[in-house]
Amino acid sequence: MEIGRVGDEGLETRMSGDECRDEEGVMDLDVTGDSIQKVSSQEWNKEQEEQNDIKPEHADQPSLRGKQQPLIFYILLGLSILLSTGILIAGVIMLAQMFTEMKNSKSDFKMDRSQMKNKITQMFSEINNSQTDIKTELSRMKDDIAKIPVETKNSLSDFRSKVSQLKNITQVVSDIRHLQVNLKVDLSQMKNPITQMVHEIRNVQAGLQTELSRTTNKFIGMSKDTRSSQAVPQMKNNMLEMFHELRVSLADFRMDLLQMKNNITQMFSELRNFEVIMKMERIYVEKKLSRLSEEMQNSHTDFRMKLSQVNNTAQTFDEIRHAQTDFKMEYCQLKTNMTWMFNELRMAQADFKMELSQMNYDITKRFSEIRSAQSWWRVELSQLKKDCQYS
């Protein structure tokens, strides 16, 4: 807007200066035309007065002029009058036509200049409107650019928090995997002792059963021998006590085996439950990781879009700077062209004034020649008059 205002002020200053110069030129033309018309009218009046002065002298002596004045005197007098009258009339007509054409050309020039001034004013108003639109667009773009860093910071903070959450979840998953590996190692290590213990229990049970069967067989044999030999009751009591101890030890062994079996079953159930819980936790972690990865991809996509918007905004600013540079260059070119045009107009006005002065000089010279010719004709006429009087 400042450029347009300065251009309008400069244009109005030039236009006002040129109007003043054109008005001065028109006033000079009017003054010159009036002076030429005055000179021509004065010359015409002088000649008419001289003719009127000459006619009474010849009217006083009609008989002498009719007898003594030769025919050439009348011919020369008529020719001089006709020549001077024709020259004056032609000069006046030419001057009037020339001044009419000059006034018409001046009016056309003023109309063209007013049209050009209107076009230039319209052009500068359009430039001002375009500058206003550009400033509005720039302010809107500045607001958008001011919002972009805040949104970018928020997206970056969200992205960082999600990355930290992902790191924590990754650490948890790695811990769970290590725990699973350690549990498998412990289970593999516990499997061999438990299997070995079960085999030993089975061997002990088989040995006990073998020993029990052998003792039973021995007891049966001993009972047969006792029945046959009618042994002492003390031996029977000892055998009964031994069998009672064997039954008690076998019951304790069975209870220990049952307790061990229950413990092993409970441990395996706990291991199965732990595996199920670990599987569920792994599924949950995998879902959360997939969701976080999708959110990270979306945030990364949004971040790229915002970066592309920033790049597009920077490109738009570059285009605006190039447009402003082109506008300044065009404005300088227009200013140069206007200056050149006004210089051409001034030169044309100067040439026109020079031609007017030359024309004025030529007209003055022509009138001086006419006056000298008239004075010569007067001298000749006076000489002829004197010759006629003397003769």
What distance in Å separates the CA atoms of residue 347 and residue 42, rounded to the nearest whole number? 35
Other beta carbons within 10 angstroms of residue 65's beta carbon come to 16
Name every residue whose Cβ is closer than 8 Å to that of residue 294 and which is 6 or more positions away in sequence: none
Cα–Cα dist 252/257, whole Å? 8
- Mean residue pLDDT of the chain comes to 70
Which is it for the CA torsion 35, 30, 90, 352, positive or negative?
A: positive
Percent over 70 (pLDDT), the chain: 66
> Using 50, 70 and 90 to split pLDDT, how confident is the model at 3?
very low
Angle of helix 71-229 relative to helix 2-60, nearest 10 degrees, comes to: 170
**Under 8 Å between Cβ of 8 and 121:** yes
pLDDT of residue 322: 82
Name, in order, each residue with C-beta under 8 angstroms of 226's C-beta and a sequence gap of 6 or more. Answer: 235, 236
Question: Can you tell me which residue has the tokens 């005055």?
Answer: 38
pLDDT at 9 > cutoff 70: no
95: its two tokens: 């001057």
**Mean pLDDT throughout 225-250?**
65
Angle (CA) 334 337 342, round 5°: 125
Report pLDDT for 222.
61
How many helices (H) and strands (E) the chain has is answered by 4, 0
pLDDT (0 to 100) of residue 210 = 75
Distance from C-alpha of 360 to C-alpha of 29, rounded to nearest angstrom: 10
pLDDT for 52: 53
Residue 11's pLDDT band (cuts 50, 70, 90): very low
Task: Calculate what percentage of the chain has a pLDDT beyond 90.
Answer: 0
User: pTM score, two decimals?
Assistant: 0.36
> Minimum mean pLDDT among 34-43, 143-152, 355-364: which range?
34-43
Asked if residue 100 has pLDDT above 70, the reply is yes
With bands split at pLDDT 50, 70 and 90, how would you rate the model's confidence at 99?
Answer: confident
137-141, 260-264, 297-301, 339-343, range with greatest mean pLDDT = 339-343
